[in-house]
A = this chain, B = another copy of it.
Amino acid sequence: MSLPHAILTALLEKPSSGLELTRRFDRSIGYFWSATHQQIYRELGKLEQAGHIRALPAPVPSRGQKKEYEVLPAGRAELTDWVRRSEDPKPIRDALLLRLRAAAVVGTEGFADELRRHLALHRAQLEEYRGMEERQFPPERRTTEADRLRHLVLRGGIELERFWTAWLEEALAGFDDGDR
């Protein structure tokens, strides 16, 4: 039940069209929630029906025309309520760890390459996030409550990538000993 709330948050930060939201989900929102444009359009429809958001009046409302949405008071109330509810962390589901465990049973042939590939991807992601941190949250922008919180969320994304790169490096060190 998180996608509608992700959309409400994004729209409160800035009213947008479906495609704009998709792009924001691919970029900055992506470090804590991902979604395809299909999910977003479907959810925008539901949120509008529920009276949580509305389409801003457009000059030419027809297919293929941009449609901007903004959050209505009911939507803000729902989001506020959701943030206040308590919710347990979901158990992990990570395919790479699973595949490594499977490799322990059926053999690790070629697996070091896959680990190296993932390491490169996570290093790139880490660099991108660190760039965003420098650009969007220089020390002078870490004073207001909202900026401090947004920075904290980005720090979560950064530290998570750091965990992956560290773990992959540890894993590869073991492979280099025993697999070459």
Contacts and interface: CB of A to CB of B under 8 A. Distances in A.
B102 A5 contact: yes
A2 B95 contact: yes
A79 B106 contact: yes
Give the interface residue-count category, chain A. 35 or more
Nearest to A146: B104
A92 B150 contact: no
B157 A92 contact: yes
Given A99-B82, A104-B146, A105-B9, A170 B153 contact: no
Interface string A3-23: 001101100110000000000
Interface of A: 2, 5-6, 8-9, 12-13, 30-34, 76, 79-80, 82-84, 86-111, 114, 117-118, 121-122, 145-146, 148-150, 152-153, 155-157, 159-160, 162-164, 166-167, 170-171, 174, 178
